[in-house]
């Protein structure tokens, strides 16, 4: 996967309803999860790259492990989209430190290979990916529903439904405000 595909993958994973996922979708997710760590031959031969090498078990990554991965992903993604340093409360980050275990192999020519389990390497790679503000330029979190999406032009919400819902709410709020003003004036 190239960087854009990786970003697409994590946004999709963050939005997935894992509790109700269909068999076929789960298999696609498991395959994409493996592909998330892979590089093209050309990328592999470029000096200065970082490789991630989770174990090749010959089996699909267990479905039961995805919810924890998704939770961490959503927390990190949400924070990555906030303006710089706002995820701090009294100087302390609202994101807890994460334990990550990995081994590093430094290959001649300036290439690094990280070796570890899927979860740890996913977290590690995710950190590097989300640290790139340019990459996240068009990613937004929809306020009414919490879904992540790729913004097209000045799009504010993930769907027409959320836009309508928000406009309706704003309209009702303005009506309420007008009614309150009238009440106040009436009292005088
Ligand atoms: Zn939405």
Number of domains in the chain: 2
**Domain shared by 53 and 83, yes or no:** yes
Exposed (0-12), middle (13-18) or buried (19+): which is 13, by Cβ within 10 Å? buried
Q: How far apart are CA 68 and CA 24, in angstroms?
A: 21
Residues 28, 9: Cα–Cα separation, whole Å:
11
Closest by CA to 139, choosing from 2, 21, 15, 35, is 15
Distance 69 CA to ligand 1 centre (A): 22
Domain limits at 157?
Answer: 152-188
The SS3 of residue 24 is helix
Give a yes or no: residue 8 inside a domain. yes
Q: Tens digits of per-residue pLDDT, 109-135?
A: 888 999 999 999 999 999 999 998 899
Give per-residue pLDDT as tens, 153-178: 989 999 999 999 888 888 888 888 88
In a domain, residue 28? The reply is yes
Assigned domain for 31 exists: yes
Q: How far does residue 158's CA lie from ligand 1's centre (Å)?
A: 4
Ligand 1: distance of its center to the CA of 161 in Å? 7
How far is residue 173's CA from residue 48's CA, in Å, rounded to a whole number?
55
């Amino acid at each position: 996967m190239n960087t854009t595909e990786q970003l697409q993958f994590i946004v999709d994973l963050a939005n997935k309803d894992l509790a109700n996922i269909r068999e076929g979708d789960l298999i696609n997710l498991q395959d994409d999860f493996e592909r998330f760590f892979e590089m093209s031959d050309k990328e592999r031969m470029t000096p200065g790259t970082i490789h991630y090498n989770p174990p090749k078990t010959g089996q699909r990554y267990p479905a039961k492990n995805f919810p924890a991965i998704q939770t961490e992903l959503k927390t990190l993604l949400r924070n990555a989209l906030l303006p710089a340093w706002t995820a701090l409360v009294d100087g302390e980050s609202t994101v807890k430190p994460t334990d990550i275990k990995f081994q590093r192999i430094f290959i001649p020519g300036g290439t690094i290979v990280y070796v570890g389990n899927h979860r740890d390497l996913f977290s590690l790679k995710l950190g590097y990916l989300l640290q790139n503000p340019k990459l996240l330029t068009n990613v937004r979190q929809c306020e009414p529903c919490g879904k992540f999406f790729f913004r097209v032009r000045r799009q504010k919400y993930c769907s027409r439904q959320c836009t309508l819902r928000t406009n309706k709410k704003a309209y009702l709020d303005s009506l309420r405000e007008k009614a309150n003003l009238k009440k106040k004036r009436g009292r005088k």
